Structure 1
Amino acid sequence: MGQSLGIFGYSTNDEDDDEVLRRFTRKWASRLHHTESFPDLKLLPPEISLQILSNVDARELRLCKEFWEELVNDDFLWKRLCYLHWGYCSAYSTPRASQGPHFWKSLFSSLESATERFNTYVTDESYSGISMFQSMSILTDNPYDIAEFLFSTDLLKTSHVLALLQQRRDVLTIYLTKHDFTGWFLPIAMRSFFFKLNLSARHVSPFLAYIFEIFSKHYCDCNPSFTQVAVTIVMLSLVMLSNDLRNPSIKNKMSKREYIKNTLQALDGQANGPIDIDYLGHTYDNVYLIGHVAPEKLDGL
């Protein structure tokens, strides 16, 4: 077997770094166990310290400065935290030669600050909120960059993201394409997207109509055997069915037979692809058993 130089700077006989680290950890744990006072964490090898610090969040990492003043500034740790919370931003492509000292720690602080400011804007000013990321050189105004950024993080307030997408339909269209619905059952795909953005009755009809248009197109792009017109009709039928089944004021609920009959009538003359009686029956069962395809009634349609 060949020999290689591991993270501890000596031959490991092809032993992976994790195993070397485990051996060192056990050795130091045994040594610390026999100390009479609380161990001085500064005595730990830097490799073990980095391994420990790579498992803490930003708040805890900052608190560790007392024990690992130099290591807590290590860009390896802050880069990991950046990607963990914001999977993408334009600043990640900054050339290494232009990054400067503590680039990733500084970028994390900027992302943290801009995110907080975005989330504190009132809903109709969210487009101004995204400009915070741009003014801090975190994002460009490229719609592909903005869409990728929005898709890559769960830290942004949903209502503010939705308000931004209403104002930037170029971003919305690209954002939707980030969802891969290949092979997804239509009610499940709708539920996934609508709940993620919390699309509900408070949003105006033109926007919802646009959502249905681009969603049906993207769904057909992912599933070419379907046609856009047929998918749009079934989407509308599913919304009406959801409202009917979940509205307590409606006493006579729509039966599966009625739902299938009404949808087939709406589809009359259209190229339906896989959408037939059995398919529609399964969509009815899905809504009946699982629930609404959107967070609330989509009355504005």
Structure 2
Amino acid sequence: MNRANRCQQAGAGLQMGQGLWRVARNQQLQQEVYSEQGYLSREQSRRMAASNISNSSHRKQVQGGIDIYHLLKARKSKEQEGFINLEMLPPELSFTILSYLNATDLCLASCVWQDLANDELLWQGLCKSTWGHCSIYNKNPPLGFSFRKLYMQLDEGSLTFNANPDEGVNYFMSKGILDDSSKEIAKFIFCTRTLNWKKLRIYLDERRDVLDDLVTLHNFRNQFLPNALREFFRHIHAPEERGEYLETLITKFSHRFCACNPDLMRELGLSPAGKGQADWDEGGFVFFLFLPDAVYVLCYSLILLSIDLTSPHVKNKMSKREFIRNTRRAAQNISEDFVGHLYDNIYLIGHVAA
């Protein structure tokens, strides 16, 4: 009896264990199904949201004065796939789209839309946006003239200039793009941003007549002195070391700055008595030609301060009080507030010749 009872108890325990295992297994399977369904729903929701964001951002990018997105969608047939044919759009819209292309992409576009991409207005815009001034712009175009061909010549001449400035200028003159005049060369340099600044610095150091005309193209009226100096050195890059060329640049800048701001010079005391030279104008009245000695001193002070504040090799930076004291020692008529504003400008904005 004891043995039979033990067997019955063991069988009942086995059945109970199997039942508990089946319950636990079913719960596990249900959790896996729920989690998988939740994951799928979350993944589907994420994809739908991403698709909506992408579509909305795309529509925002192409919307302008008119709804270009709906215009393109309306003109696109059900059978047609890919980008819409620009010849199907109004000419004004087609030219507007092509005007955003550079020269390389415009040449590629001409393989598909030859009449549109070869339009002279598009290539004229490319020429004038890159080379703002050329002598040939103001002349009657010769027979067979093409702005696309002119763009290629300007690009070739710029590459030649960046290798050898003299040869580059001679190339422009040989093609009739530039006149043999220092003023025309200066205007070309002033309105062009594709010339190598190191080669340009060498060329201007050798052609002081071009440098003089280039300086006169700057208008510093009502500009703060450090900002005007930054603009000057953006067009005419300063040499890496102090020397005769740097002194020449600062001298020319000082004269130009004073010429553009005569009232400001007198107001700030940057043209003190005894620093000027009397002369007569055509009406017989005496006036004074003030030499910009104070501006020259301030420019050197700003350059030295820029190096002091921006160089990692200078451990002990010059304080505002030290700068005011040193500057007023060299130019006594300048107010302390004005010199303090100069220091603040360099401290906040940075180097004047960077």
Instruction: Quote the residue 1:139 is aligned against.
Output: 178
1:205 aligns with 2:243: yes
1:71 to 86, 105, 116: 116
Query: Which residues of 2 match residues 95-106 of structure 1 at below 5 A?
Result: 95=140, 98-106=141-149
Q: Is the 8 A contact 1:41 1:67 kept in 2?
A: no
**TM-score (normalizing by structure 1):** 0.78
2:317 alignment partner, SS class = coil
Deviation for aligned residue 1:45: 4.7
Structure 1 stretches of at least 4 aligned residues deviating more than 6 Å after TM superposition: none
1:90 aligns with 2:135: yes
1:231 aligns with 2:295: yes
Q: Aligned pair in 2 of structure 1 residues 257, 64: CA closer, same or farther (>3 Å)? A: same
CA distance in 1, matches of 2:318, 2:92: 64
Unpaired runs of 5+ in structure 2?
A: 1-64, 266-270, 272-291
CA distance in 1, matches of 2:310, 2:111: 56
**TM-score (normalizing by structure 2):** 0.67
1:290 aligns with 2:328: no
2:184 alignment partner, SS class = helix
Aligned residues: 263
Give the counterpart letter for 1:85 in structure 2.
Answer: T
CA distance in 1, matches of 2:70, 2:143: 37
Deviation for aligned residue 1:160: 1.6
Larger Rg: 2
Give the counterpart letter for 1:77 in structure 2.
Answer: L
2:153 to 88, 94, 110: 110
Q: Aligned pair in 2 of structure 1 residues 22, 213: CA closer, same or farther (>3 Å)? A: same
CA distance in 2, matches of 1:255, 1:24: 57
Q: Aligned pair in 2 of structure 1 residues 141, 159: CA closer, same or farther (>3 Å)? A: same
CA deviation digits over 1:135-179, x for unaligned, max 9? 221111211111111111211111122221111111112212222
CA distance in 2, matches of 1:79, 1:158: 25
1:257 aligns with 2:311: no
RMSD: 2.5
Give the counterpart letter for 2:253 in structure 1.
Answer: F
CA distance in 1, matches of 2:86, 2:344: 59
CA distance in 2, matches of 1:157, 1:212: 22
Q: Aligned pair in 2 of structure 1 residues 258, 27: CA closer, same or farther (>3 Å)? A: closer
Higher-RCO chain (CA-CA 8 Å, sequence separation at least 6) = 1
CA distance in 1, matches of 2:131, 2:68: 33
1:61 aligns with 2:100: no
Give the counterpart letter for 2:148 in structure 1.
Answer: K
Deviation for aligned residue 1:239: 1.9
Q: Aligned pair in 2 of structure 1 residues 238, 62: CA closer, same or farther (>3 Å)? A: same
Unpaired runs of 5+ in structure 1?
A: 1-20, 296-301
